[in-house]
Amino acid sequence: MADQDAAIVARCLKGDWAAFDELVRRHERPLYNGALRIVRNSDDAKDIVQGVFIRAYEKLSQYDPERRFFSWIYRMMVNASLNWVDSKRLQTDLDPELPFTGESPEAEFLRGEESRKIEEALDKLKPEFRLVVVLKYFGELSYEELGYVLDIPAKTVKSRLYEARRILATLMTDSGVTTYGTR
Amino acid sequence: MAHDEQDQAALDGALSNEEISRFKESLGADPQAALRFEALKHVDSSLRSLPTSPPPPDLREGVMRQIRLQQALAPASKAVRSAWWDAWFPARPAFQVGLGFALGVLVLMPLMKLTPTSFVDPASVTGTLATRDELVGSPAGHLDIVGPGLSGSLSSIVEGGMLTLQFRLASAGPVEAALEFEAPLLGLYSIQTDSPWAGSVEYSGRKLTLHHAGTTGYTIRLAMAPGTSPRMDLGIYRSAEAIFEAAVP
Protein backbone atom coordinates (compact mmCIF):
# COMPACT_ATOMS: atom_id res chain seq x y z
CA MET A 1 0.00 0.00 0.00
CA ALA A 2 2.80 2.40 0.97
CA ASP A 3 4.67 1.43 -2.21
CA GLN A 4 1.56 2.12 -4.26
CA ASP A 5 1.27 5.56 -2.68
CA ALA A 6 4.93 6.27 -3.39
CA ALA A 7 4.42 5.27 -7.02
CA ILE A 8 1.37 7.53 -7.33
CA VAL A 9 3.22 10.45 -5.74
CA ALA A 10 6.07 9.94 -8.20
CA ARG A 11 3.59 10.04 -11.10
CA CYS A 12 2.11 13.28 -9.77
CA LEU A 13 5.52 14.88 -9.46
CA LYS A 14 6.26 13.95 -13.07
CA GLY A 15 3.23 15.96 -14.09
CA ASP A 16 0.48 13.33 -14.09
CA TRP A 17 -1.72 15.22 -11.67
CA ALA A 18 -4.80 13.19 -12.54
CA ALA A 19 -3.12 10.46 -10.46
CA PHE A 20 -3.70 12.59 -7.39
CA ASP A 21 -7.34 11.55 -7.66
CA GLU A 22 -6.22 8.03 -6.77
CA LEU A 23 -4.50 9.27 -3.60
CA VAL A 24 -7.68 11.06 -2.57
CA ARG A 25 -9.76 7.97 -3.26
CA ARG A 26 -7.45 5.77 -1.19
CA HIS A 27 -7.25 7.98 1.88
CA GLU A 28 -10.38 10.12 2.03
CA ARG A 29 -12.27 7.70 4.29
CA PRO A 30 -9.78 7.40 7.19
CA LEU A 31 -8.93 11.09 6.97
CA TYR A 32 -12.58 12.09 6.97
CA ASN A 33 -13.36 9.81 9.91
CA GLY A 34 -10.35 11.05 11.85
CA ALA A 35 -11.37 14.68 11.28
CA LEU A 36 -14.99 13.90 12.07
CA ARG A 37 -13.99 12.40 15.41
CA ILE A 38 -11.96 15.49 16.27
CA VAL A 39 -14.18 18.33 15.05
CA ARG A 40 -17.48 16.43 15.51
CA ASN A 41 -19.27 18.00 12.59
CA SER A 42 -19.53 16.43 9.15
CA ASP A 43 -19.50 19.68 7.14
CA ASP A 44 -16.43 20.97 8.95
CA ALA A 45 -14.71 17.59 8.66
CA LYS A 46 -15.32 17.65 4.91
CA ASP A 47 -13.94 21.18 4.56
CA ILE A 48 -10.88 20.29 6.60
CA VAL A 49 -10.12 17.14 4.62
CA GLN A 50 -10.57 18.93 1.30
CA GLY A 51 -8.21 21.66 2.50
CA VAL A 52 -5.69 19.06 3.64
CA PHE A 53 -5.68 17.30 0.27
CA ILE A 54 -5.22 20.61 -1.54
CA ARG A 55 -2.38 21.53 0.82
CA ALA A 56 -0.81 18.12 0.20
CA TYR A 57 -1.05 18.77 -3.54
CA GLU A 58 0.65 22.13 -3.10
CA LYS A 59 3.40 20.70 -0.88
CA LEU A 60 3.86 17.37 -2.61
CA SER A 61 7.36 18.24 -3.78
CA GLN A 62 8.34 18.56 -0.08
CA TYR A 63 7.03 15.11 0.81
CA ASP A 64 9.74 12.77 2.07
CA PRO A 65 9.25 9.40 0.35
CA GLU A 66 11.07 7.71 3.24
CA ARG A 67 7.93 8.31 5.26
CA ARG A 68 4.56 6.71 4.60
CA PHE A 69 2.38 9.11 2.59
CA PHE A 70 -0.59 8.31 4.77
CA SER A 71 1.13 9.32 8.01
CA TRP A 72 2.33 12.56 6.33
CA ILE A 73 -1.13 13.58 5.23
CA TYR A 74 -2.71 12.27 8.43
CA ARG A 75 -0.48 14.59 10.41
CA MET A 76 -1.71 17.51 8.31
CA MET A 77 -5.30 16.48 8.98
CA VAL A 78 -4.74 16.25 12.73
CA ASN A 79 -3.06 19.67 12.87
CA ALA A 80 -5.78 21.27 10.74
CA SER A 81 -8.52 19.68 12.86
CA LEU A 82 -6.92 20.71 16.15
CA ASN A 83 -6.45 24.26 14.84
CA TRP A 84 -10.10 24.28 13.88
CA VAL A 85 -11.14 23.11 17.36
CA ASP A 86 -8.96 25.78 18.96
CA SER A 87 -10.36 28.55 16.76
CA LYS A 88 -13.90 27.34 17.44
CA ARG A 89 -13.28 27.51 21.17
CA LEU A 90 -11.90 31.01 20.84
CA GLN A 91 -14.83 32.13 18.72
CA THR A 92 -17.60 30.68 20.86
CA ASP A 93 -15.96 30.49 24.26
CA LEU A 94 -17.76 27.21 24.66
CA ASP A 95 -17.13 24.33 26.96
CA PRO A 96 -14.18 22.34 25.56
CA GLU A 97 -16.53 19.48 24.75
CA LEU A 98 -18.06 20.41 21.43
CA PRO A 99 -21.34 18.65 20.66
CA PHE A 100 -21.03 15.79 18.21
CA THR A 101 -23.24 16.51 15.21
CA GLY A 102 -21.52 14.23 12.77
CA GLU A 103 -24.29 11.81 11.97
CA SER A 104 -27.98 11.81 11.21
CA PRO A 105 -30.40 10.48 13.87
CA GLU A 106 -31.12 7.48 11.62
CA ALA A 107 -27.45 6.60 11.39
CA GLU A 108 -27.04 6.97 15.13
CA PHE A 109 -30.01 4.69 15.75
CA LEU A 110 -28.54 2.05 13.48
CA ARG A 111 -25.27 2.05 15.37
CA GLY A 112 -26.86 0.36 18.32
CA GLU A 113 -26.77 0.77 22.02
CA GLU A 114 -23.32 -0.60 22.70
CA SER A 115 -21.65 1.61 20.11
CA ARG A 116 -23.46 4.60 21.53
CA LYS A 117 -22.20 3.84 25.02
CA ILE A 118 -18.65 3.46 23.80
CA GLU A 119 -18.97 6.77 21.99
CA GLU A 120 -20.24 8.34 25.21
CA ALA A 121 -17.34 6.87 27.14
CA LEU A 122 -14.95 8.22 24.49
CA ASP A 123 -16.47 11.66 24.89
CA LYS A 124 -15.66 11.58 28.59
CA LEU A 125 -11.95 11.06 28.00
CA LYS A 126 -9.56 13.97 28.32
CA PRO A 127 -8.83 15.40 24.84
CA GLU A 128 -5.24 14.09 24.72
CA PHE A 129 -6.41 10.57 25.56
CA ARG A 130 -9.35 10.67 23.18
CA LEU A 131 -7.11 11.89 20.39
CA VAL A 132 -4.73 8.96 20.78
CA VAL A 133 -7.62 6.46 20.80
CA VAL A 134 -9.25 8.03 17.75
CA LEU A 135 -6.03 8.09 15.77
CA LYS A 136 -5.08 4.56 16.77
CA TYR A 137 -8.41 2.99 15.92
CA PHE A 138 -9.52 5.11 12.97
CA GLY A 139 -6.15 5.70 11.38
CA GLU A 140 -4.53 2.35 12.14
CA LEU A 141 -1.12 3.90 12.59
CA SER A 142 1.82 2.37 14.41
CA TYR A 143 3.03 3.90 17.68
CA GLU A 144 5.97 5.47 15.85
CA GLU A 145 3.69 6.96 13.23
CA LEU A 146 1.31 8.22 15.89
CA GLY A 147 4.27 9.82 17.64
CA TYR A 148 5.19 11.57 14.38
CA VAL A 149 1.58 12.68 13.79
CA LEU A 150 1.18 14.05 17.31
CA ASP A 151 4.77 15.22 17.67
CA ILE A 152 5.29 13.28 20.88
CA PRO A 153 7.54 10.26 21.65
CA ALA A 154 6.14 6.84 20.74
CA LYS A 155 6.54 5.87 24.38
CA THR A 156 4.16 8.67 25.40
CA VAL A 157 1.67 7.48 22.80
CA LYS A 158 1.84 4.01 24.28
CA SER A 159 1.31 5.13 27.85
CA ARG A 160 -1.55 7.47 26.88
CA LEU A 161 -3.24 4.71 24.97
CA TYR A 162 -2.95 2.31 27.88
CA GLU A 163 -4.35 4.89 30.27
CA ALA A 164 -7.17 5.71 27.85
CA ARG A 165 -8.10 2.05 27.46
CA ARG A 166 -8.05 1.60 31.24
CA ILE A 167 -10.34 4.61 31.79
CA LEU A 168 -12.65 3.45 29.02
CA ALA A 169 -12.88 0.02 30.63
CA THR A 170 -13.93 1.66 33.89
CA LEU A 171 -16.43 3.96 32.18
CA MET A 172 -17.95 1.08 30.21
CA THR A 173 -18.27 -1.00 33.33
CA ASP A 174 -20.03 1.91 35.03
CA SER A 175 -22.41 2.30 32.10
CA GLY A 176 -23.26 -1.39 32.17
CA VAL A 177 -21.69 -2.31 28.86
CA THR A 178 -19.33 -4.75 30.53
CA THR A 179 -19.40 -6.48 33.88
CA TYR A 180 -15.70 -6.97 34.29
CA GLY A 181 -13.90 -5.68 37.34
CA THR A 182 -11.43 -2.98 36.39
CA ARG A 183 -10.54 -1.22 39.61
CA MET B 1 7.87 -6.38 31.67
CA ALA B 2 5.33 -4.46 33.81
CA HIS B 3 1.72 -5.67 33.72
CA ASP B 4 0.52 -2.63 31.76
CA GLU B 5 3.19 -3.20 29.12
CA GLN B 6 2.27 -6.86 28.94
CA ASP B 7 -1.44 -6.06 28.59
CA GLN B 8 -0.67 -3.53 25.87
CA ALA B 9 1.64 -5.88 23.99
CA ALA B 10 -0.94 -8.67 24.20
CA LEU B 11 -3.68 -6.37 22.85
CA ASP B 12 -1.41 -5.23 20.03
CA GLY B 13 -0.52 -8.80 19.14
CA ALA B 14 3.12 -8.01 19.83
CA LEU B 15 3.92 -11.04 22.04
CA SER B 16 5.74 -14.11 20.81
CA ASN B 17 4.18 -17.55 21.32
CA GLU B 18 6.41 -18.14 24.30
CA GLU B 19 5.49 -14.77 25.81
CA ILE B 20 1.78 -15.46 25.24
CA SER B 21 2.09 -18.73 27.16
CA ARG B 22 3.81 -17.00 30.06
CA PHE B 23 1.25 -14.18 29.97
CA LYS B 24 -1.63 -16.66 30.12
CA GLU B 25 0.01 -18.45 33.02
CA SER B 26 0.36 -15.18 34.91
CA LEU B 27 -3.30 -14.33 34.28
CA GLY B 28 -4.30 -17.80 35.52
CA ALA B 29 -2.46 -17.17 38.75
CA ASP B 30 -3.91 -13.71 39.30
CA PRO B 31 -7.73 -13.40 38.93
CA GLN B 32 -7.59 -9.60 39.32
CA ALA B 33 -5.10 -9.33 36.47
CA ALA B 34 -7.26 -11.64 34.36
CA LEU B 35 -10.34 -9.45 34.97
CA ARG B 36 -8.36 -6.32 34.14
CA PHE B 37 -7.09 -7.81 30.89
CA GLU B 38 -10.56 -9.05 29.89
CA ALA B 39 -11.95 -5.55 30.38
CA LEU B 40 -9.16 -4.05 28.27
CA LYS B 41 -9.72 -6.68 25.59
CA HIS B 42 -13.41 -5.82 25.51
CA VAL B 43 -12.62 -2.12 25.12
CA ASP B 44 -10.22 -2.93 22.32
CA SER B 45 -12.70 -5.07 20.39
CA SER B 46 -15.51 -2.54 20.95
CA LEU B 47 -13.38 0.28 19.59
CA ARG B 48 -12.38 -1.82 16.59
CA SER B 49 -16.03 -2.52 15.84
CA LEU B 50 -17.12 1.12 15.89
CA PRO B 51 -18.56 1.96 12.48
CA THR B 52 -16.91 4.54 10.24
CA SER B 53 -18.83 7.00 8.11
CA PRO B 54 -18.41 7.12 4.35
CA PRO B 55 -16.94 10.44 3.22
CA PRO B 56 -19.39 12.83 1.52
CA PRO B 57 -19.69 11.88 -2.15
CA ASP B 58 -18.58 15.31 -3.35
CA LEU B 59 -15.44 15.49 -1.18
CA ARG B 60 -13.13 13.99 -3.78
CA GLU B 61 -14.64 15.91 -6.68
CA GLY B 62 -14.27 19.15 -4.71
CA VAL B 63 -10.57 18.47 -4.21
CA MET B 64 -9.95 17.62 -7.84
CA ARG B 65 -11.95 20.61 -9.07
CA GLN B 66 -9.83 22.94 -6.96
CA ILE B 67 -6.64 21.29 -8.19
CA ARG B 68 -7.70 21.57 -11.83
CA LEU B 69 -8.51 25.22 -11.22
CA GLN B 70 -5.14 25.89 -9.61
CA GLN B 71 -3.38 24.19 -12.50
CA ALA B 72 -5.34 26.20 -15.03
CA LEU B 73 -4.44 29.40 -13.23
CA ALA B 74 -0.82 28.73 -12.36
CA PRO B 75 0.76 26.19 -14.68
CA ALA B 76 4.21 27.29 -13.59
CA SER B 77 3.52 27.40 -9.87
CA LYS B 78 5.57 25.60 -7.25
CA ALA B 79 3.00 22.82 -7.02
CA VAL B 80 3.41 21.78 -10.60
CA ARG B 81 7.03 22.57 -11.18
CA SER B 82 8.87 19.72 -12.82
CA ALA B 83 10.82 17.17 -10.86
CA TRP B 84 14.14 18.15 -12.47
CA TRP B 85 14.13 21.38 -10.48
CA ASP B 86 13.91 19.44 -7.21
CA ALA B 87 16.93 17.41 -8.20
CA TRP B 88 18.92 20.21 -9.80
CA PHE B 89 18.46 23.09 -7.33
CA PRO B 90 19.59 21.43 -4.04
CA ALA B 91 22.79 20.25 -5.70
CA ARG B 92 23.94 23.79 -6.60
CA PRO B 93 24.73 25.80 -3.46
CA ALA B 94 26.43 28.62 -5.39
CA PHE B 95 23.30 29.14 -7.45
CA GLN B 96 21.21 29.12 -4.25
CA VAL B 97 23.38 31.86 -2.70
CA GLY B 98 23.19 33.94 -5.89
CA LEU B 99 19.46 33.52 -6.14
CA GLY B 100 19.03 34.41 -2.46
CA PHE B 101 21.06 37.61 -2.97
CA ALA B 102 19.07 38.56 -6.05
CA LEU B 103 15.77 37.99 -4.27
CA GLY B 104 16.99 40.02 -1.29
CA VAL B 105 17.82 42.95 -3.56
CA LEU B 106 14.44 42.67 -5.26
CA VAL B 107 12.62 42.69 -1.93
CA LEU B 108 14.62 45.56 -0.45
CA MET B 109 14.41 47.89 -3.45
CA PRO B 110 10.70 48.66 -3.22
CA LEU B 111 10.88 48.89 0.58
CA MET B 112 13.18 51.83 0.34
CA LYS B 113 10.37 53.79 -1.30
CA LEU B 114 7.65 52.77 1.17
CA THR B 115 6.49 54.09 4.49
CA PRO B 116 6.43 51.45 7.24
CA THR B 117 2.62 51.45 7.40
CA SER B 118 2.28 50.48 3.76
CA PHE B 119 4.57 47.50 4.07
CA VAL B 120 2.80 44.26 3.29
CA ASP B 121 3.85 41.29 5.35
CA PRO B 122 5.09 38.75 2.78
CA ALA B 123 3.20 36.08 4.73
CA SER B 124 -0.04 37.73 3.77
CA VAL B 125 0.84 37.42 0.12
CA THR B 126 2.30 33.97 -0.02
CA GLY B 127 1.48 32.52 3.38
CA THR B 128 -0.97 29.93 4.51
CA LEU B 129 -4.68 30.30 4.90
CA ALA B 130 -4.28 30.18 8.67
CA THR B 131 -2.01 33.20 8.62
CA ARG B 132 -4.42 35.18 6.54
CA ASP B 133 -7.43 34.18 8.61
CA GLU B 134 -5.83 35.79 11.61
CA LEU B 135 -5.79 39.16 9.92
CA VAL B 136 -8.64 41.54 10.48
CA GLY B 137 -10.33 42.49 7.23
CA SER B 138 -12.10 45.72 6.44
CA PRO B 139 -14.92 46.01 3.90
CA ALA B 140 -13.77 47.96 0.87
CA GLY B 141 -16.82 47.96 -1.36
CA HIS B 142 -20.15 46.41 -2.22
CA LEU B 143 -22.19 46.30 -5.37
CA ASP B 144 -25.61 44.84 -6.17
CA ILE B 145 -25.84 43.48 -9.68
CA VAL B 146 -29.12 43.68 -11.58
CA GLY B 147 -29.45 43.42 -15.35
CA PRO B 148 -31.46 41.63 -18.02
CA GLY B 149 -31.47 37.96 -16.98
CA LEU B 150 -28.85 38.82 -14.42
CA SER B 151 -28.61 39.27 -10.66
CA GLY B 152 -25.94 39.02 -8.01
CA SER B 153 -23.61 40.94 -5.77
CA LEU B 154 -19.95 41.71 -5.37
CA SER B 155 -18.25 42.59 -2.08
CA SER B 156 -14.59 43.30 -1.64
CA ILE B 157 -12.63 43.00 1.58
CA VAL B 158 -9.05 44.06 2.15
CA GLU B 159 -7.12 42.10 4.74
CA GLY B 160 -3.42 42.79 5.02
CA GLY B 161 -2.07 42.52 1.51
CA MET B 162 -4.94 40.38 0.28
CA LEU B 163 -8.03 41.50 -1.58
CA THR B 164 -10.91 39.06 -1.18
CA LEU B 165 -13.90 39.28 -3.49
CA GLN B 166 -17.18 37.60 -2.64
CA PHE B 167 -18.86 37.45 -6.00
CA ARG B 168 -22.24 35.88 -6.54
CA LEU B 169 -23.74 35.75 -10.00
CA ALA B 170 -26.94 34.26 -11.39
CA SER B 171 -27.38 34.55 -15.13
CA ALA B 172 -29.70 33.16 -17.75
CA GLY B 173 -27.25 31.66 -20.20
CA PRO B 174 -23.52 32.24 -20.50
CA VAL B 175 -22.00 35.62 -19.72
CA GLU B 176 -18.53 37.06 -19.39
CA ALA B 177 -17.80 38.96 -16.17
CA ALA B 178 -14.72 41.17 -16.44
CA LEU B 179 -13.11 42.86 -13.44
CA GLU B 180 -10.63 45.58 -14.32
CA PHE B 181 -8.51 46.75 -11.41
CA GLU B 182 -7.43 50.33 -10.99
CA ALA B 183 -3.96 49.23 -9.87
CA PRO B 184 -2.15 46.12 -11.09
CA LEU B 185 -2.25 43.24 -8.64
CA LEU B 186 0.63 41.04 -7.58
CA GLY B 187 -1.17 37.83 -8.35
CA LEU B 188 -4.26 35.69 -8.22
CA TYR B 189 -4.01 33.56 -5.09
CA SER B 190 -7.11 31.36 -5.37
CA ILE B 191 -10.62 31.04 -6.68
CA GLN B 192 -13.14 28.86 -4.90
CA THR B 193 -16.67 28.18 -6.03
CA ASP B 194 -19.58 27.07 -3.89
CA SER B 195 -20.88 24.58 -6.45
CA PRO B 196 -19.58 22.46 -9.30
CA TRP B 197 -18.30 24.85 -11.91
CA ALA B 198 -17.79 24.34 -15.60
CA GLY B 199 -16.67 27.88 -16.42
CA SER B 200 -13.19 29.20 -17.08
CA VAL B 201 -11.10 32.13 -16.04
CA GLU B 202 -8.49 34.40 -17.58
CA TYR B 203 -6.23 36.58 -15.51
CA SER B 204 -3.64 39.22 -16.16
CA GLY B 205 -2.27 41.59 -13.53
CA ARG B 206 -5.00 44.14 -14.20
CA LYS B 207 -7.95 42.14 -15.47
CA LEU B 208 -9.79 39.02 -14.41
CA THR B 209 -12.44 37.54 -16.68
CA LEU B 210 -14.84 34.81 -15.66
CA HIS B 211 -16.76 32.85 -18.27
CA HIS B 212 -19.86 32.08 -16.31
CA ALA B 213 -23.27 30.41 -16.69
CA GLY B 214 -26.01 29.64 -14.16
CA THR B 215 -25.66 30.47 -10.47
CA THR B 216 -22.32 30.38 -8.69
CA GLY B 217 -20.77 32.01 -5.66
CA TYR B 218 -17.07 32.77 -6.11
CA THR B 219 -14.51 33.60 -3.47
CA ILE B 220 -11.56 35.19 -5.24
CA ARG B 221 -8.34 36.06 -3.44
CA LEU B 222 -5.80 38.38 -4.98
CA ALA B 223 -2.50 39.68 -3.66
CA MET B 224 -2.30 43.47 -3.71
CA ALA B 225 0.77 45.60 -4.19
CA PRO B 226 1.62 47.73 -1.12
CA GLY B 227 -0.35 50.95 -0.83
CA THR B 228 -2.50 50.38 -3.92
CA SER B 229 -6.23 50.97 -4.28
CA PRO B 230 -8.68 48.07 -4.30
CA ARG B 231 -10.97 49.93 -6.71
CA MET B 232 -12.17 48.11 -9.82
CA ASP B 233 -14.70 48.23 -12.63
CA LEU B 234 -17.07 45.37 -13.27
CA GLY B 235 -18.47 44.73 -16.72
CA ILE B 236 -20.76 41.86 -17.59
CA TYR B 237 -21.24 40.95 -21.23
CA ARG B 238 -23.56 38.63 -23.10
CA SER B 239 -22.52 37.86 -26.68
CA ALA B 240 -20.03 40.74 -26.45
CA GLU B 241 -22.82 43.20 -25.54
CA ALA B 242 -22.55 44.95 -22.15
CA ILE B 243 -25.53 44.13 -19.91
CA PHE B 244 -24.09 45.56 -16.70
CA GLU B 245 -21.29 47.99 -15.96
CA ALA B 246 -20.37 49.67 -12.68
CA ALA B 247 -17.44 50.80 -10.62
CA VAL B 248 -16.74 49.03 -7.31
CA PRO B 249 -15.54 51.64 -4.80
For chain B, the average pLDDT equals: 75
Secondary structure of residue B138 in the 3-state scheme: strand
In chain B, the residue whose alpha carbon lies closest to the alpha carbon of A29 is B55
Nearest residue in B to A48, CA atom: B59
Would you state the pLDDT for residue B114? 41
Confidence of residue B242 (pLDDT cuts 50, 70, 90): confident
Range B42-49 average pLDDT? 87
Partner-chain contact B78 A182, CB within 8 Å: no
Please, are residues A139 and A76 in contact by the beta-carbon 8 Å criterion?
Answer: no
A17-40 pLDDT, tens digit per residue, is 889 999 999 999 999 999 998 888
ipTM of the complex: 0.79
- pLDDT confidence of residue A15: 85
For the residues of B67-121, what is the DSSP string, one character each? Answer: HHHHHHH-TTSGGG--HHHHHHGGG-HHHHHHHHHHHHHHHHHHHTTS-GGGPPP
pLDDT at position A109: 57
Q: Who wins on pLDDT, B4 or B130? A: B4
Identify the pLDDT of residue A89: 66
What are the phi and psi torsion angles at B247 (to 5°)? -100, 140
Question: How far is it, in rounded angstroms, from Cα B118 to Cα B123?
Answer: 14
Tens of pLDDT, residues B191-206: 888 877 777 788 777 8
**Which band of pLDDT confidence, cut at 50, 70 and 90, is reported for residue A86?**
confident
Closest residue on chain B to A143 (Cα): B12
Has residue B129 got a pLDDT over 70? no
* Confidence band of B138 (pLDDT split at 50, 70, 90): low
- What is the identity of the amino acid at B193? T
Q: Give the best residue of A9, A29, A50, A177 to mutate against chain B (max B CB count within 10 A).
A: A50
Mean pLDDT across B4-26: 85
Residue with the larger pLDDT of the pair B224 and B173 = B173
Spatial neighbors of B7 by CB under 8 A, at least 6 apart, are A162, B36, B37, B40
Contact A49 B129 (CB under 8 A): no
Contact with chain A for residue B1, Cβ under 8 A: no
Give the tens place of pLDDT for each residue, A26-80.
Answer: 999 999 999 998 888 899 999 999 999 999 998 998 898 888 999 999 999 999 9
Within 8 A of A181 by CB-CB distance, chain B residues are 32, 35-36, 39
- pLDDT of B134 > 50? The answer is no
Distance of residue A55 Cα from the nearest chain B Cα, in angstroms:
9
**How sure is the predictor about A167, in pLDDT bands with cuts at 50, 70 and 90?**
very high
Percent of chain B at pLDDT > 90 equals 6
Query: How near does any CA of chain B get to the CA of A108, in Å?
Result: 10
Mark A31-45 as b/e (b = at least 16 C-beta within 10 Å). Answer: bbbbbbbbbbbbebb
pLDDT of residue A11: 92
Instruction: Please tell me what DSSP assigns to residue B226.
Output: T
B55 and A29 within 8 Å at the Cβ level: the answer is yes
Q: A10-19, A166-175, B95-104: lowest mean pLDDT where?
A: B95-104
Best mutation target among A40, A57, A129 (most B Cβ atoms within 10 Å) is: A57
Q: What is the pTM of this model?
A: 0.56
pLDDT digits (tens, 9 = 90+) for B60-110: 998 998 888 777 766 444 444 455 556 566 667 777 777 777 777 676 665
